[in-house]
Structure 1
């Protein structure tokens, strides 16, 4: 399937141009043949007039000069032939050029003044024939049929040459036309390239709306896209505000329940029930936070973001260094200069923060973050030199919809958030052994 609109239009235009040329070719050949036949007829008529003006009646008999004004009649190898027949159809004279020809022609002498036709000689060669009947010759009564002939081979040769030239010129004209069509389509699609560039800028977050500097035929499309962008932006803002309100409204009751549980914990007889209550409150708090993060960190449908990695590593590394200052963790970086990931900043901050927090918590002394571009994908790798993840647990951790918190309350929420963020960006997450000795989280995202 041809996906290029320009190429489709070009193929359609080329097909129409070829069909037009194919229909034009026989029409031009036919027009040329008719014009050439008319020219041959006029020439033969003029040659008949030459014979008529040269003929004389002497003593009741036809007399022709030895040398005619038209030189072709006087040359034996000439292809212009001249004949004169009497009223009975008997040949009474032939030109020098017709001496060696064996043409079986009998004039009709049926009262028609002139006639233009084709005949064949005894060997099948075709001739054009112009036959004129006269009753007066040199002012005297005389009934003769004066005939001039020319081989049709010359006509066919001219037609063949014209056809070959026609193929060359029409083929050249077709190529020039197709080239001009291609350039014209390129100029016409310049506005489409401008629209595509603006859409790329919107996806990259460099602009919010499409401009009005497009052809009239595309303004309806750009207007619809702008309304869609505005609607999506407004909906996303309302969604985030609603999530913030929900988070605030849920945190207050949970804080009240937490305070009540602490008051109950002061009574020894309630200690066991209070422990269960606090565990469930903590689990509810984590689940609420997890669900809010899932909903708020989904990527936008139309806007594609890119976030620089180094500044986020500075922020997260600085915060984690303070939390785990007793470990004195070394954060290594293996990144190209100015490297950016195709994620929204909030999503990247949440994903990378969870991975680095796990790495800092489980490592011995070293954590390494590396990233690179691989064809159409971007790869991000977070490694540590800790104990790693048991092979029996890896498949369960990476299985879509499986969360560690389902079997270990209060644990594994961060990994589930990471997996959901990666899935929302059509990425892949793999858990491997690191060269440092611990776990290696390998992330691939469409770049």
Structure 2
């Protein structure tokens, strides 16, 4: 399927131009043939007039000079033939050019106007015939048919030559027309390229709205896109404000419940109920954090973000090194220093933070982060030298909608957030064994 609108229009215009040329060719050839036949008729008519002016009546007999004014009648190899027939159709005179020809023609004597007709000789060669019936010759009463002939082969050669020239010139004209159409479409689609540049700038976060400097036919589209951008921006802002309000409103009741549970923990008879209460409070806090993260990290529909990997990894590793300073974890890096991933910075920070926290917590001494651009997308890998993930647990972790936290309260939230972020960006998460000995999380993101 051809996806380029310019190529589609070019193919459509070229098809119409070719069809027009094909329809024009027969019309031009027919017009040329008619004009050529008219020219031949006029020439043969002029030759008839030459014969009439040269003829005279001597008594009751026709007299013709030995040499005619039109030299073609006098040459045996000439293709211009002249004949004169009497009223009974008997040939009474023929030009010298007819000595080698065997044309058997019978004049009409039907009183019709002079017309250009055709006849054939004994060899099947075709001739144009111009027949003029006269009743006066040299001022005397006479009844003769003056006939001039010319081979049709010459006419066909001219038509064939004209057809070749016509094909050549129309073919050249078609190529020039297609070139001009391509240039015209390029000029017409310049505004489309401008719109594409502005959309790229919006995706890169360099501008917020489309400009009004576009053709009138595209203003409705640009206005609709601007309204969509404004709506998305305001909706995202409302989401953030609502989430902030929700987090603030839930933080205080949970803190109160936590304080009450601590007060009750001092009474021995309430210790078992307090443990249940604290466990549920912790689970509620984790679930609220998880749902807030899911909503806040939703991918934007029009703006395409990019976040540098190295600075975020520096921030995360610095914090985790302090938390797990007793382990003395060695973090290995394998990616270009200026590599950026197609994620919003907050999404990349949350995704990488959860994977690194799990790697630091479960590793022995080594964690490795590698990333590279491959094809039209990106690959991010986080692996460690810890115990890894049991094979029977991997499929359930990676399956959409399955989370370990549904069966083990308080655990698995980080992996679920990672999976949701990757899914929202159209990516893929794979889990297998690492060469370091532990788990290997491999993330594939579209470019």
Q: 2:95 and 2:443 mapped to 1: Cα distance?
A: 100
Counterpart of 2:138 in structure 1 is: 138
**Is 1:149–2:149 an aligned residue pair?**
yes
Distance in structure 2 (CA, Å) of the matches to 1:139 and 1:132? 17
DSSP-derived class of the 1:30 partner: helix
1:242, distance to aligned residue in structure 2 (A): 0.5
Bigger mean CA deviation after superposition, 332-341 or 54-63 = 54-63
1:222 is the counterpart of 2:222? yes
Q: 1:163 to 1:298 in 2, by over 3 A?
A: same
For the pair 1:237 / 2:237, whether they are aligned, the reply is: yes
- The residue number in structure 1 matching 2:274 is 274
Indicate if the aligned counterparts of 1:86 and 1:144 stay in contact, CA closer than 8 A: yes
Which residue of structure 1 aligns with residue 310 of structure 2?
A: 310
* Contact persistence 1:431–1:440 (CA under 8 A): yes
CA distance in 1, matches of 2:233, 2:113: 92
Equivalent pair of 1:334/1:369 in contact (CA under 8 Å): yes
1:402 — aligned with what? 402
In the alignment, which residue of structure 1 is the partner of 2:287? 287
Partner secondary structure for residue 115 of structure 2: strand
Q: Deviation string for 1:196-252 (max 9, x for gaps)?
A: 222122122222111111111101100000000100110011011101111111111
Q: Map Cα deviations across residues 360-391 of structure 1 (whole Å, 9 max, x no partner).
A: 11222221111011112210011112222222
Deviation at 1:444, TM superposition (A): 0.6
Deviations 1:312-338 (A, max 9, x none): 011111111222222222222111131
Indicate the residue corresponding to 1:337 in structure 2: 337
Deviation at 1:112, TM superposition (A): 4.4
For residue 332 of structure 1, give the secondary structure of its aligned residue in structure 2. strand
Q: 47-56 vs 249-258, which deviates more? A: 47-56
The range that moved more, 416-425 or 135-144, is 135-144
Alignment of 1:3-402 (within 5 A): 3-112=3-112, 114-402=114-402
**Alpha-carbon separation, structure 1, partners of 2:13 and 2:436:** 62
- Where structure 1 has 5 or more consecutive residues not aligned to the other structure, the ranges are none
Greater Cα shift, 197-206 or 131-140:
131-140
TM-score after normalising by structure 1: 0.97
After TM superposition, which residue ranges in structure 1, 4 or more long, deviate above 4 angstroms?
Answer: none
What is the deviation of 1:185?
1.4
CA contact (8 A) 1:388 1:439 kept: yes
Q: CA deviation at 1:113?
A: 5.7
CA contact (8 A) 1:383 1:440 kept: yes
In 2, Cα distance between equivalents of 1:200 and 1:226: 14
CA distances 1:296-351 after superposition (whole Å, capped 9, x unpaired): 11101111111110110111111112222222222221111310111111111001
| Partners of 2:70 and 2:111 in 1: CA distance | 28
Moved more, 335-344 or 387-396: 387-396
Shift of 1:83: 0.8
> Which secondary structure state, in structure 2, belongs to the residue aligned with residue 114 of structure 1?
coil
Describe the superposition over 1:36-62 as per-residue Cα deviations: whole angstroms up to 9, x where unpaired.
000001111111111122222233322
Cα RMSD of the aligned pairs, angstroms, is 1.5
Structure 1 residues 182-205: Cα deviation after superposition (integer angstroms, max 9, x where no partner) = 222122112112212221221222
Question: CA separation in 2, counterparts of 1:114 and 1:364?
Answer: 115
Q: How many pairs does the alignment contain?
A: 447
Which secondary structure does the structure 2 equivalent of 1:325 belong to? coil
CA shift, 1:111, in A, is 3.7
1:393 Cα shift?
A: 2.1
Contact 1:112–1:133, Cα closer than 8 Å, also in 2: no
